[in-house]
Structure 1
Amino acid sequence: METYVGVTDGDWYRFLAARPTLTEANFWRPSGSTSFRALRPGEPFFFKTHHSSRHAVSGFPYNRVVGGGFFEAFEPLPLSEAWKIFGEANGADSWEQMRERISKYRRRPIAAGEDPVIGCILLRDTRFFNAPADPPPDFAPNIVQGKGYDMSTDSYADYFNDLVARLVGDDTVDASLPWRREGPVFGDARLVPQRLGQRAFKAVVLNAYGRRCAITGSTIRPVLEAAHIRPVSRGGEHRLDNGILLRSDVHTLFDQGYLAIDPNHRLLVSPRLRQEFGDGEELYRHAGSRVATPDNAADRPSQAFLGWHLSEVFLAT
């Protein structure tokens, strides 16, 4: 089991630490050209403040681990999309403030009218510690982004077990037990890899479908929505295989049962669409065709969720 300790921007940390009701976060990187492969979904990610500052602020916890969350995904997103999806969970109170903070970390400032792609490390179940912890003993002062660790290594096990226990809010976890073994922390529901936060669900579905409606092929971004196949209110989850990117009107028809997708990912159109509204020719033309799906087979709509929608929602007659 891996973990990662990332160096956080001080303003990002202060903003989110003051808003404990925000349990998702975008730990952004100023450039979208980089990737992040240090963690798998569900593994812990911790925030460490900068080692020092030439203009130290009294009371600020420099060079301390101040909180963390659980890794969901890494997605490159235009800055405007990152703001639209995550809002204050980006660690800023406005798009302008976020843009200004990102600009100061780039090799050249963001130009007027530019909408750069940034790297988004998406985290859920974030928590900030009341008493910041010491950094890992070998975390060098010159590390500017972060460092990954194998939590099963004996020299790190106790340290990270204690941090994970604080992260999940369970002070009864025996820190002497390696986290890779079964126990209260390992079995915590928050560590389920497939489950995403609500905001991350939108970002992940958007990128998985290439910003294109799975049924109509529309690429008009303002009308594209991440739809749940089985709604969360009816037992579904925020997970990629329970999602599909749809144009807003198509999303409404899908939710109301006028459209469905069969287990072979072919579009079904209810006869009631024509009977009740005398319209829908665009959709009838697509009937029987395969809908677009993500390249990765594991990310495609699951047969379990599609089967539920067919039996519980679709207006077959």
Structure 2
Amino acid sequence: MVSLFVAITDRSWFDLLSVERPDEVNFWQPSGFRNFKAVSVGELFLFKLHAPNDFIVGGGVFSHASNVPLSLAWEAFGIKNGVTSLPEMRRRIAQYRRDDALLDPRTDPPVGCRILTQPFFWPREQWIPVPQSFARNIVTGKRYGSDEADGRYLWEAVVERASLDLATTQPAARYGAPQTVRPRLGQGAFRLTVTDAYDRRCAVSGERTLPILDAAHIRAYGDGGEHDAANGLLLRTDIHRLFDLGYVTVSDDNRFEVSHRLKADFDNGRHYYDLHGSPVRGPQTGYAPPSADALAWHRDHRYLG
């Protein structure tokens, strides 16, 4: 049995993203104080417009949920938040929360992020009428199971309309039992997933100041690396820069290694040499460890030795 979640959204959010056709979207909530657990990774998250437009108009594959500061949500997703600017997103949050103090750009309120990959936006003739079980007094959304009639109806209607990368390659799966879908992470999903995987701490220094933490690709995306948590490390910004340039790496016994070139090139770097040989922290339980192949690639193709 798999689950589907039908969430209520604004028409303006849907209209903007249906034109942009992004590779991922952030279905955000104006209050970032609750953990979203209605569906699991790979299950479907569907968009329903506000009444009287009682139709499901698109959706995506659920990838990750996180509560992050507004600044990070905008930096990670930009227009994929369904708004055209950070000030507009701030105005909407202040409006929804009925708190004009949030209009002050010095505030950085938490935002609930539900990150969806492979989003799909249907033309009007493909919209799906919501089941009668979706009550008018529902405020945020409703979960359906594929083992119930309405859940199965929604699954079959979505599969008929959307091209989904199903978790099995068997031809019969298209009209067979509902199943999870392979999420293909975009840059924003990669960033927040890696950030949470490492408990918002630099894997090398332990730094917790979120604005200076980066989700670093171990094997660069431009060199064949993927937006996958196993291809990521959460690093302080300066360490990330040195990692990309090859002045530091992770040894095969999972320790921080600093190249002799750092001192040779800049006659400096004592702070980094103090970290040389320290263990590199792994992700939290439930997340894949860094890929040994990706780390070997970095040592062989980036590290200056």
Residue by residue, what CA displacement relative to the aligned partner does 1:98-144 show, whole Å, maximum 9, x if unpaired? Answer: 11222222254443343211111011111110131111341111111
| CA distance 1:285–1:63, shift in 2 (3 Å) | same
TM-score (norm 2): 0.86
Show the counterpart of 1:268: 257
Higher share of residues assigned helix: 2
Equivalent positions of 1:272-287 (< 5 A) are 272-287=261-276
Separation of aligned partners in 2, 1:297 and 1:4: 22
Describe the SS at the equivalent of 2:154: helix
CA deviation map 1:55-111 (0-9, x unaligned): xxxxxxx01101111111001011122112211111111112111222222254443
Amino acid at match of 2:155: F
Stretches of structure 1 that go unaligned for 5 or more consecutive residues are 53-61, 181-185
Once the two structures are aligned, what percentage of the paired residues are identical? 39
**Contact 1:47/1:66 (<8 A) preserved:** yes
Structure-2 residue corresponding to 1:41: 41
Distance 2:187 2:144 in 1: 28
Equivalent residue number for residue 59 of structure 2: 68
What amino acid does structure 2 have at the position aligned with 1:168? S
After superposition, the Cα gap between the structure-2 partners of 1:262 and 1:126, relative to the gap in structure 1 and judged at 3 Å, is same
Q: What does residue 50 of structure 1 align with? A: 50
**Does the CA contact (< 8 Å) of 2:45 and 2:59 recur in 1?**
yes
The 5-angstrom pairing of residues 157-196 of structure 1 reads 157-168=152-163, 176-180=175-179, 191-193=181-183, 195-196=184-185
Partner of 1:143: 138
For residues 254 and 176 of structure 1, the distance between their equivalents in structure 2, rounded to whole angstroms, comes to: 46
- Report the CA distance shift for 1:165/1:174 in structure 2 as closer, same or farther (over 3 A): farther
Matching residue's letter, 1:95: L
TM-score by length of 1: 0.83
- Residue 116 of structure 1 aligns with which residue? 109
Q: Tell me the C-alpha RMSD between the 2 structures.
A: 2.5
Partner-residue secondary structure (3-state), 2:257 = strand
Deviation at 1:227, TM superposition (A): 0.7
In structure 2, the residue matched to 1:31 is 31
Alignment-mate amino acid for residue 176 of structure 2: L
Q: CA 1:273/1:70 → structure 2, altered by over 3 Å: closer, same or farther?
A: same
Do residues 308 (structure 1) and 297 (structure 2) align?
A: yes
- In 1: Cα distance, 2:108 partner to 2:131 partner: 36
Q: Which amino acid aligns with 1:32?
A: G
Q: Is the 8 A contact 1:162 1:175 kept in 2?
A: no
SS of residue paired to 2:296: helix
Q: How many residues align?
A: 295
Secondary structure of the 1:27 match is strand
